[in-house]
């Protein structure tokens, strides 16, 4: 992995700037950008299908946060660094929201809990990777990015917990089909991140 870059004497506040980051972190940001693009589309997919008022309020609130995450990452990741498969990630995201929305609220909440659990781990790994590059927390660009990722992660944890709290466990555990779908969502997210590092 590339070493730390940037000046330790630069101000520690302000937005992260991908142009001064190590290549590995730029590829991390490409996965974040694709993921937040997909997240926006997940909630749009839910809203395109469901008429359930509680699910709509849930999706609208989460969508606003994901749109803010995406806008923040777009500010710091130039178009040339973004995934060339964004159309695919948008379509996959929309389906990941729309399909469970056609089944019902439990399927939506289980899907979001799975997605946001994955995203929490994803941002945690990235924060740990920044801490390995800059253990003294002296590199301003890295620390600006770290703060941003930390704030995103807190939002994703809120989303995960919100979904988990709404999943009606009194109605029994998830069906085998829902369990399989949730597994596929996690596996698909992991696969998408791997592909995004390269394309
Ligand atoms: Fe997000
Ligand atoms: Fe989220």
Read off the CATH number of the domain in which 178 is found.
Answer: 1.20.1260
**Full residue range of the structural domain in which residue 129 is found:** 21-196
Q: List the chain pLDDT tens, one digit each, 199 residues.
A: 333 223 333 333 344 566 678 888 999 999 999 999 999 999 999 999 999 999 999 999 999 999 999 999 999 898 999 999 999 999 999 999 999 999 999 999 999 999 999 999 999 999 999 999 999 998 888 999 999 999 999 999 999 999 999 997 777 888 899 999 999 999 999 999 999 998 9
Q: Give the helix ranges, DSSP H, for 77-104.
A: 86-103
- Supply the Cα-derived Rg of the chain in whole angstroms: 17
Give the number of domains in the chain. Answer: 1
How many whole angstroms from 120 Cα to the centroid of ligand 1? 9
Contact 98, 141 (CB under 8 A): no
63 within 8 A of 43, measured Cβ to Cβ: yes
Q: What's the gap in Å between 69 CA and the centre of ligand 1?
A: 5
Distance 155 CA to ligand 2 centre (A): 6
> pTM for the complete prediction?
0.87
Q: Is residue 44 part of a domain?
A: yes
52 within domain boundaries: yes
89 with 70: CB under 8 angstroms? no
Count of other CB atoms within 10 angstroms of residue 174: 17
Would you give the distance in Å from CA 133 to the centre of its chain? 22
> Ligand 2 is a single-atom ion; what residues have CB below 5 A from it?
156, 159
Assess if residue 143 is contained within a domain.
yes
How far apart are the CA of 67 and the centre of ligand 1, in A?
A: 8
């Amino acid at each position: 992995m590339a070493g730390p870059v940037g000046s330790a004497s630069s101000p520690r506040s302000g937005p992260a700037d991908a142009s001064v980051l190590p290549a590995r972190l730029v590829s991390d940001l490409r996965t974040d950008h694709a993921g937040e693009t997909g997240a926006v589309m997940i909630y749009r997919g839910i809203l395109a299908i469901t008429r359930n008022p509680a699910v709509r309020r849930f999706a609208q609130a989460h969508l606003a946060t994901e749109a803010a995450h995406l806008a923040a990452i777009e500010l710091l990741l130039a178009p040339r660094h973004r995934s060339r498969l964004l159309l695919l990630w948008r379509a996959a995201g929309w389906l990941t929201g729309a399909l469970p929305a056609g089944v019902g609220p439990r399927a939506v909440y289980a899907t979001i809990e799975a997605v946001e659990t994955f995203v929490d781990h994803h941002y945690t790994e990235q924060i740990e990777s920044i801490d390995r590059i800059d253990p003294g927390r002296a590199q301003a660009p890295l620390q600006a990015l770290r703060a941003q990722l930390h704030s995103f992660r807190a939002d994703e944890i809120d989303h995960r917990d919100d979904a988990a709290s709404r999943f009606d466990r009194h109605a029994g555990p998830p069906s085998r089909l829902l369990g399989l779908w949730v597994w596929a969502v996690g596996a698909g997210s992991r696969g998408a991140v791997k592909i995004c590092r390269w394309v």
